Amino acid sequence: MYAYILRRILATIPVMLIVAFIVFSLLYLTPGDPAAVIAGEHATAEDIARIRANLGLNDPFLLRFGTWIASIMQFDLGTSLLTNMPVSQMIGQRIEPTLSLMLPTLILAVCIAVPLGVIAAWRAGTKVDHFITVFAVLGFSVPVFVVGYALVWSFSLKLGWLPVQGYAPIGQGVSRWFQHLVLPCLTLSSAYIALITRITRTAVLEVLQQDYIRTAEAKGVGRHAILFVHALKNASVPIITVIGIGVALLIGGAVVTESVFAIPGLGRLTMESILRRDYPVIQAIVLLFSISYVLVNLLIDIAYTFVDPRIRY
Amino acid sequence: MSAIDTSASGFLKETTRYPTVIAGAILLGIILLIAFLTPLLSNTDPSYIDAARRAQPASASHWFGTDMLGRDLYTRVLYGAQVSLIVGFAVAVLSTIGGLAIGLMSGFVKAIDAVVMRFMDGLMSIPAILLAVALMSISKGSVTNVIIAITIAEIPRTARLVRGTVLSLREQPYVEAAVAGGTRLPTIIFKHILPNTLAPLIVQATYVCASAMISESILSFIGAGVPPVIPSWGNIMAEGRALWLVKPFIIFYPAVFLSITVLAINLLGDGLRDMLDPRNAQRTTSR
CATH code of A207's domain: 1.10.3720.10
Domain-embedded: residue A312: no
High-pLDDT (> 90) share of chain A, % = 11
Given an 8 Å threshold on Cβ–Cβ distance, is A252 in contact with B135?
Answer: no
Same domain? A33 vs A169: no
Same domain? A176 vs A261: yes
Residues of A in contact with B133 (CB under 8 A): 255, 270, 274, 282, 286
| Coil/strand/helix, residue A218 | helix
Alpha helix (H) residue ranges in chain B? 8-15, 19-41, 73-108, 110-124, 128-137, 143-170, 173-180, 185-187, 194-221, 233-240, 249-276, 278-286
Mean pLDDT, chain A, integer: 84
Same domain? A151 vs A293: yes
Which one of A75-89, A95-109, A126-140, B165-179 scores highest in mean pLDDT?
A: A95-109
Domain-embedded: residue A78: no
Please say whether the beta carbons of A264 and A252 come within 8 A: no
Given an 8 Å threshold on Cβ–Cβ distance, is B222 in contact with A274?
Answer: yes
Query: What is d(CA A282, CA A269) in angstroms, rounded to the nearest whole number?
Result: 8
pTM exceeding the 0.95 threshold for the entire prediction:
no
Residue B196 has pLDDT above 50, yes or no: yes
Given an 8 Å threshold on Cβ–Cβ distance, is A23 in contact with B134?
Answer: yes
Residue pLDDT, tens place only, A131-151:
888 888 888 888 888 888 888
Chain B: closest CA distance from residue A171 (Å): 29
Same domain? A162 vs A257: yes
Same domain? A46 vs A161: no
Per-residue pLDDT at B60: 63
- A257 part of contact set with chain B, CB < 8 Å: no
The nearest alpha carbon in chain A to B119 belongs to A18
Please say whether the beta carbons of A283 and A27 come within 8 A: yes
Domain-embedded: residue A302: yes
Q: Where are the beta strands (DSSP E) in A100-198?
A: none
Q: Which of A22, A141, A297 lies closest to B126 in CB terms?
A: A22
Per-residue pLDDT at B23: 84
Q: Which of A138, A141, A293 lies closest to B127 in CB terms?
A: A293
Mean pLDDT, chain B, integer: 81
Given an 8 Å threshold on Cβ–Cβ distance, is B127 in contact with A142?
Answer: no
Per-residue pLDDT at B268: 87
Lowest mean pLDDT among A1-10, A14-23, B22-31, B242-251: B242-251
Q: Tell me whether 0.90 is exceeded by the ipTM.
A: no
Q: Which position has the higher pLDDT, B111 or A32? A: B111
Q: Could you tell me the CA-to-CA distances from B204 to A41, B68, B91, B237, B266 in Å, in that order? A: 39, 39, 12, 28, 10
Residue pLDDT, tens place only, A194-226:
999 988 998 888 888 888 888 888 888 877 888
Residues of A in contact with B135 (CB under 8 A): 26, 29-30
Per-residue pLDDT at A196: 92
Per-residue pLDDT at B96: 93
Same domain? A280 vs A176: yes
Q: How confident is the model at residue B1 (pLDDT cuts 50, 70, 90)?
A: very low
Given an 8 Å threshold on Cβ–Cβ distance, is A149 in contact with B251?
Answer: yes
B92 C-beta neighbours (distance < 10 Å), count: 25
Residue pLDDT, tens place only, B3-53:
455 566 666 666 677 778 888 888 888 888 887 877 776 777 776 676 666
Domain-embedded: residue A89: no
Q: How confident is the model at residue B89 (pLDDT cuts 50, 70, 90)?
A: very high
Residue pLDDT, tens place only, B235-284:
888 887 777 777 777 788 888 888 899 899 988 888 888 787 766 554 44
Chain A: closest CA distance from residue B196 (Å): 23
CA angle B56, B58, B60 (to 5 degrees): 110
Mean pLDDT of A76-94: 84
Query: What is d(CA B185, CA B188) in angstroms, rounded to the nearest whole number?
Result: 5
Residue pLDDT, tens place only, A261-309:
888 889 889 888 888 878 888 889 999 999 999 998 888 888 888 777 7
Domain-embedded: residue A22: yes
Per-residue pLDDT at A108: 93
Residues of B in contact with A285 (CB under 8 A): 130
Same domain? A30 vs A131: no
Same domain? A287 vs A145: yes
Same domain? A120 vs A68: no
Domain-embedded: residue A119: yes
Residues 6+ apart with CB under 8 A from B27: B260, B261, B263, B264, B267
The nearest alpha carbon in chain B to A266 belongs to B130
Domain-embedded: residue A52: yes
Per-residue pLDDT at B275: 80
Same domain? A169 vs A234: yes
Residues of A in contact with B222 (CB under 8 A): 255-256, 259, 270-271, 274
Could you list the residue range(s) of the whole structural domain that residue A7 is in? 2-73
Per-residue pLDDT at A189: 92
Query: What is d(CA B200, CA B165) in angstroms, rounded to the nearest whole number?
Result: 9
Same domain? A101 vs A31: no
A244 C-beta neighbours (distance < 10 Å), count: 16
Domain-embedded: residue A87: no
> In a mutagenesis test of the B interface, which of A149, A158, A285 is the best target, namely the one with the most B β-carbons within 10 Å?
A149
Per-residue pLDDT at B282: 46
Lowest mean pLDDT among A79-83, A256-260, B27-31, B80-84: A79-83
Q: How many residues does chain B have?
A: 287
Same domain? A178 vs A276: yes
Structural domain tally of chain A?
A: 2
Per-residue pLDDT at B62: 63
Lowest mean pLDDT among A22-26, A59-63, A258-262, B114-118: A59-63
